[in-house]
Amino acid sequence: MRAPRWSWSPSWPRTLRTRLTVGLVVLLAVGSAAVGVAAVVELERFLTGRVDQQLAEAGPRFPASLERGGVPDGRDDHDGDELGDTRHQATGTFGARLVDGEVTHAAVIRSGDAAADLDAGLTPGDERRLAAVPVDGHGHTIRLSGLDEYRVRAVRGLDGDVMITGLPLEPVEAAGHRLMLVSGVVFGIVLTATGVAGALWVRWSLRPLSRVAATATRVSELPLASGEVALPPRVPDADPRTEVGRLAAAFNRMLGHVEGALTKRHASEERLRRFAADASHELRTPVASVRGHAELALLHPGPVTPEVTRALERIAAESARMGEMVDEMLLLARLDAGRPLERRPVDLTRLVLDAVTDARAAGPGHRWELELPEEPVTVEGDAHRLHQVVANLLANARLHTPRGTKVTVALRVADAEAVLTVHDDGPGVPAEIRPTVFERFTRADRRRVDASGGGAGLGLSIVSAVVAAHDGNVRLDSEPGSTTFTVRLRATSAS
């Protein structure tokens, strides 16, 4: 068994406002750090230069006096310590005398103008470091085990020996550390204040962009696909010289184009609806007349050839089918126009029972099963149209599945909703038409539907429109061997 792979991804700021603020603070922090480091380095370099200057002024007097027991050159007596001439030497001054690379004398001035002998305190490593100091009259930094870092200067004596004078670098390091501490505190305060001020400034600068985002969010929540839509007010004009201002202006122009396109589309749809309604209304009379004449001709008592009888029967059947299609188109046109349906209590249980009874009679080759609750389910709506919804779903299952298919119709109440499901174990709805199954004139297998006397593909569109008019929803779940239509309506009684 493979162990799960663990991965870590940094959580970067997502909003533009946060990114700009963080970027501003980071850049300022980097700049402050660079200034602080440069200031500390320059201060240490300057103070080190001052130490080198002090070493040059002190000269080799202190290390030269070590071999004479503290007697300065040209004097018979002295006021210095027996280990060396400490006059005019700063506390911490180090002196060493080397002959042929070997340290013969070494001392350091302690407080109180007293010199301490360091001969016994120097390690072999210290002696090697002292011997390695270049005799060039320039300052060099070394570290002795008994002392901290020192700045030393080596010069050659009159008798060929080497005189090394050194001053401690501790004051230089202390000054650098203090500057770093002060700089860190000051930069921290500046960064905090800059972060707060920068966040407020960025927020104020991006207010037009926030208004654009808010307007875009309101537009995204509008039902642009249905009916006439009133777009929200435009984004307030911003300075066109800025990027945000140009974005706001372009967004306003886009909203104008969208609103114009929606208006034209709505007008076109309204004209199409009126045409469909008018055409359906005008076709009802001639279709009924053709059907009536065909049925009347079939009732004629005189002799009629079988061919004529067959033609008249087909005319009557197709007239009836066209009449149903005209009625469906007229119903859809009325629903599109938003005409209210009848609102009365409807016993959905009785309605489903009657529809399944009719389906058994129309499709005896299918296996019909009914699952109803013990108590009746009541909804508010138009009984005739709701019966049409159930009848269309059952007809769809009967026409699009082979004989022997099991169709299960179930009704239940869940979360104050009446839930009607029509399930079959047929071949399923083809994947290519599932997204458009509730659109008008959508047909799966035209040859099978035509052979069975099916309609023009308006049944499921009527189901969707009627259910939507009742403030409900219908959903399809289909795969090979299992197809389920689920209708949800608001229940008014579930006792």
In this prediction, residues 217-227 reach a mean pLDDT of 71
Tell me which range, 19-33, 84-98, 191-205, 360-374, is most confidently predicted by mean pLDDT. Answer: 360-374
Average pLDDT, the chain: 79
Residue 18 pLDDT > 90: no
| Burial degree of 341 (CB within 10 A; 0-12, 13-18, 19+) | middle
Distance CA 475, CA 484 (A): 8
H or E segment and range at residue 398: helix 383-399
* pLDDT tens sequence across 66-118: 776 554 444 444 444 445 566 667 788 888 889 888 888 888 887 655 566 66
In 3D, which of 246, 248, 254 has the Cα closest to residue 209? 248
- Residue 6 binned pLDDT confidence (cut-offs 50, 70, 90): very low
* pLDDT tens sequence across 122-141: 888 888 888 899 988 889 99
Residue 431 pLDDT > 90: no
- Residue 225 binned pLDDT confidence (cut-offs 50, 70, 90): low
Name the percent of the chain lying above pLDDT 90: 19
- CA distances to 68, 365, 380, 390, 391 from 485, rounded to whole Å, are 115, 21, 21, 10, 13
Distance CA 399, CA 445 (A): 10
Residue 26 pLDDT > 80: yes
* Residue with more model confidence, 334 or 176: 176
Distance CA 333, CA 411 (A): 29
Distance CA 90, CA 171 (A): 13
Name the residue type at position 329: M
Structure tokens given for 162: 């080497």
* Residue with more model confidence, 240 or 358: 358
Name the percent of the chain lying above pLDDT 70: 79
- Residue 456 binned pLDDT confidence (cut-offs 50, 70, 90): low
Instruction: Determine the pLDDT at residue 13.
Output: 63
* pLDDT tens sequence across 148-157: 888 999 998 8
Which range is least confidently modeled, 20-29, 300-309, 458-467? 300-309
* pLDDT tens sequence across 262-301: 777 777 666 666 666 666 666 666 767 776 767 777 777 7
Instruction: Determine the pLDDT at residue 81.
Output: 43
Residue 302 pLDDT > 80: no
Instruction: Determine the pLDDT at residue 22.
Output: 85
